[in-house]
Amino acid sequence: MWSEKIIEGLVGPQLINDSKTPSGRVHVGSLRGVLIHDALYRALRDKGTEATYQYGIDDYDPLDGLPADAAPSLQEYMGHPLCNIPAPAGSNATDLADHYISEFLAIFPELGVDAQVYRMRDIYRSGRFNQAVDAILEKSDVVRKIYAEVSHAARPEDWYPFQVICENCGKIGTTIVTAYDGKEVTYHCKADLVSWAQGCGYQGKVSPFDGRGKLPWKLEWTAKWHTFGITIEGAGKDHCTKGGSRDVAARCLKEIFGDSPPLNVPYEFFLVSGAKMSSSKGVGMAAKEIAHFLPPEILRFLIVRTPPKRTVNFSTDFEYIVRLFNEHDRLVQKAQLEQAHSEKKMLRMIEVDPVSTAYHPVGFQLLIALLQLPHIDVEHEIQKRTEGGLTEQDKENLKKRLSAATYWLDNYASEEDRIELQANLPAAAAELSHSQRAFLHLLGEKFPKESQEEEAYQKLIFDIARLTPIDQKSAFAAIYRVLLDQLQGPKGGALFVYLDREFLVQRFLEVNFSRDAFWHESGISAKECEDWLSKHRGQILSTKAEYRVNALISAMDAPDISGEIRGKGVIELQVMLTDKKTYRLRVLLRNFKGEESTLDSAVASLEAQGEGFLDEMTRLFGISIETAVKPIVYREYADRA
């Protein structure tokens, strides 16, 4: 797993750090850093390494843009430290930073994230950064040189890397420091320093210590690494480019403090439907929204399964969400196997607690479908149909999934995603191929008289598809069309469990098909049959053959159909392979166009040709073919669809 590879070779206690500026409602992309660092923390702990995970709130940063949900009155606080700005009306938070970050931090326990949270206001005001601030200001010339050499950003000789909180207007984003005497900095609150806030013009001198200002965030990174002793800290790829923020901070750390930077774990963006997100601009899905939607272990799986250097492109569309749950469920099932070491490791990375993934998942697509079926108590029906019943953990996780499915239906489902059990055969059933219709008819004929488990029904569908024959995708599409008037839906076997047997049989048998058209679609040549048998040489357990004739008649024809016989004659081979699966090969030998005058002569000509074909197959493949004594004859009205 990627987390194990990253921590290879690390020795001694490890301090992992991540942080966030609460400049707006925190989007889900910010959870990528949180969970990547948490996975590293868990991997270290699994390895027996002493490790601490801390998470910083960069609430001393200035408000440099109005949050998407902000009132216009917040404009007057542009440039102020986020923690010094009043919380919105009606909020229980102490300030604007606390208002936005509290919602985000509340998700941590839900996701099983055990991080020690600190706030930069407290770090600065407590004096913990005083030594680092002094060292950086004393070596401002070194910082200016590094900016020029690493990021090609020129700074004037009187530029010092510090931002004072203006004593007159309280803004931090509009001040520039031009001197430091070892005790105080000289600063100017400039009216035009930035485009998003206007300084008051005040000039003065003040101590840079004990929270009277802050370092620019690149140097703040340096100060954190040095002061805290951080050994691991990743960042988004935009900060890790050559000459970027990470390079500047690392060089400053080395030249000012003589320290080596923490292990870097650069990670790609978390996109929603291909779009990058922004907290301050309100672009993207809020972290709380997705945490309310997805069960915790699914959300962890979404982010942790993807190596950091690969983009996570999340979507709420039907196919993506169903696939996400299915892939998680396969992981849970595989992890139950004794030899599934990698799956067990991944499971430990995504579990909120040891029992959060110790359950039998119910397919998300099935739950979406069942919630839309009338008069069904989904939880009760699943409990009733689960062998051995549901454990308490099963019940708890089922409730989470039902909540997620309900949320998805209420907030994200398109009209095409919604299903409705059709009271009558949909008109669109007429658009199905004759092979699909014949499959449904055969399914209705073979449908068990007694209720079955999901897997038995699923096997039935596969078996009937091979006996039609028809490909599996077309078979399931036919089922969804006649039941839901859709081309996709939940697992067919699972759906059958919750629907009335008589309704299903009646609906499947209600579908008409032309046998002539069906045989035309599904019939194969003698050469194609020979190729199939050759491909499966050595796997054949048994073979049975039947002669079948389908005669096309009109409503005016007599039952014995004398005259010109029109229709088709086939040999149907039923072949069982060593995997115990039975396949039907429909070999189209005769296409009657009037050359035979009676049904008996048509059958005789088919048998004569078929006998030679079967003898040849026996000779070529050394197989014994059991042939039915009596041919089967069908009569089809030529004007019937």
The answer, yes or no, to whether residue 640 has pLDDT greater than 50, is: no
Count Cα neighbours of 327 within 13 Å in the Cβ-side half-sphere: 16
Instruction: Give dist(CA 266, CA 613) in Å, integer.
Output: 67
pLDDT of 282: 45
- Tell me if 220 is assigned to some domain: no
Q: For residue 357, what pLDDT band results from cuts at 50, 70 and 90?
A: low
Q: How many domains does the chain have?
A: 4
Pair (474, 559) in one structural domain: no
Distance, CA of 212 to CA of 219 (rounded, Å)? 16
DSSP reduced 3-state for 575 = strand
Same domain, yes or no, for 437 and 547? no
Q: Which is higher by pLDDT, 386 or 164? A: 164
Q: What is the pLDDT of residue 419?
A: 85
* Residue 191 within a domain: no
pLDDT at 345: 87
Distance CA 556, CA 1 (A): 73
Task: Look up the domain containing 617 and give its range.
Answer: 521-636
Q: Do both 439 and 464 map to the same domain?
A: yes
* Per-residue pLDDT tens digits for 254-266: 999 999 999 999 9
Residue 279 reports pLDDT greater than 70: no
d(CA 486, CA 501) in angstroms, rounded, equals 20
Report whether pLDDT(626) > 70.
Answer: yes
d(CA 609, CA 624): 18
DSSP track, 350-402: H-SSTTTT-S-PPPHHHHHHHHTSTT--HHHHHHHHSTT---HHHHHHHHHHH
Where a domain ends, among 216, 247, 274? 274
Q: What is the pLDDT of residues 465-489, one digit of tens each?
A: 999 999 999 999 999 999 999 988 8
Q: Are residues 550 and 617 in the same domain?
A: yes
DSSP class of residue 96 equals H
Q: Give the pLDDT score at 278.
A: 53
The answer to whether residue 562 scores a pLDDT higher than 70 is no
Q: What is the pLDDT, as a whole number, of residue 641?
A: 41
Q: Are residues 406 and 461 both part of a single domain?
A: no
Task: Tell whether 508 and 557 lie within a shared domain.
Answer: no
Do 12 and 112 lie in a common domain? yes
Quick one: pLDDT at residue 557?
53
User: pLDDT tens across 380-409, in order?
Assistant: 888 887 777 788 888 888 999 999 999 999
The residues facing 27 across adjacent strands are: 286
CATH of the domain at 39: 3.40.50.620
Q: Judge whether 4 and 345 are in contact, CB under 8 Å.
A: yes
What does pTM read for this prediction?
A: 0.79
What pLDDT is attached to residue 108? Answer: 96
The average pLDDT across 24-50 equals 94
Residue 189 lies in a domain: no
Task: Determine, yes or no, domain membership for 303.
Answer: no
Q: Quick one: pLDDT at residue 356?
A: 63
Q: What CATH number did the domain enclosing 328 receive? A: 1.10.10.770
Contact 551, 638 (CB under 8 A): no
pLDDT above 60 for 340: yes
Tell whether 201 is covered by a domain: no
**Sequence-distant contacts of 121-127: CB under 8 A, at least 24 apart:** 121/59, 121/60, 121/81, 121/83, 121/97, 121/211, 123/56, 124/60, 124/210, 124/211, 124/213, 124/214, 125/210, 125/211, 126/210, 126/211, 127/209, 127/210
Which DSSP string corresponds to 406-448? HHHHHHT--GGG-----SS--GGGGGS-HHHHHHHHHHHHH--
Residue 280 has pLDDT above 60, yes or no: no
Judge whether 332 lies within some domain. yes
The whole-number pLDDT of residue 469 equals: 97
Q: Cα(235)–Cα(614) distance, rounded to whole angstroms? A: 70
Proportion of the chain above pLDDT 90, given as a percent: 76
| End-of-domain residue from the set 220, 251, 274 | 274
At 355, is the pLDDT very low, low, confident or very high (cuts 50, 70, 90)?
low
Residue 506 belongs to a domain with what CATH number?
1.10.10.350
Q: In this structure, is residue 87 part of a structural domain?
A: yes
Instruction: Give the integer Cα–Cα distance in Å for 173 and 64.
Output: 8
Cα gap 449→330, rounded to integer Å: 31
Q: Does the structure show a pLDDT above 70 at 216?
A: yes
Picking from 461, 445, 470, 446, the residue whose alpha carbon sits closest to that of residue 496 is 461
The mean pLDDT value for 571-579 works out to 97
Is the pLDDT at 568 greater than 50? The verdict is yes
Same-domain status, 4 and 121: yes
| Same domain flag for 629 and 492 | no
Please tell me whether residues 322 and 394 are part of one structural domain: yes
pLDDT digits (tens, 9 = 90+) for 371-381: 998 878 888 88
Average pLDDT over residues 589-611: 88
Predicted local distance difference test score (pLDDT) of residue 241:
84
pLDDT at 275: 67
Model confidence at 411, pLDDT cuts 50, 70, 90, reads very high
pLDDT at 251 over 70: yes
**Candidate from 127-136, 253-262, 594-603, 629-638 with smallest mean pLDDT:** 594-603
In the predicted model, what is the mean pLDDT of the chain? 92
Helix or strand or coil: residue 179? Answer: strand
Task: Provide CB contacts within 8 A for 356, sequence distance 6+.
Answer: 112, 296, 297, 397
- Contact assessment for residue 29 and residue 269, using Cβ atoms and an 8 Å cutoff: yes
Where a domain ends, among 489, 512, 535? 512
397 and 437 belong to one structural domain: no
First and final CA of the chain: distance in angstroms?
57
> In the numeric block, which tokens belong to residue 278?
């922004």
Residue 197 lies in a domain: no
**pLDDT confidence of residue 358:** 60
**Going by DSSP bridges, is the β-strand pair 625-627/540-553 parallel, antiparallel, or unpaired?**
parallel
| Residues in CB range of 353: below 8 A, 6 or more apart | 112
Q: Looking at residues 260-273, what average pLDDT do you find?
A: 91
Same domain, 106 and 255: yes
Give the side-chain half-sphere CA count within 13 A for 518: 25
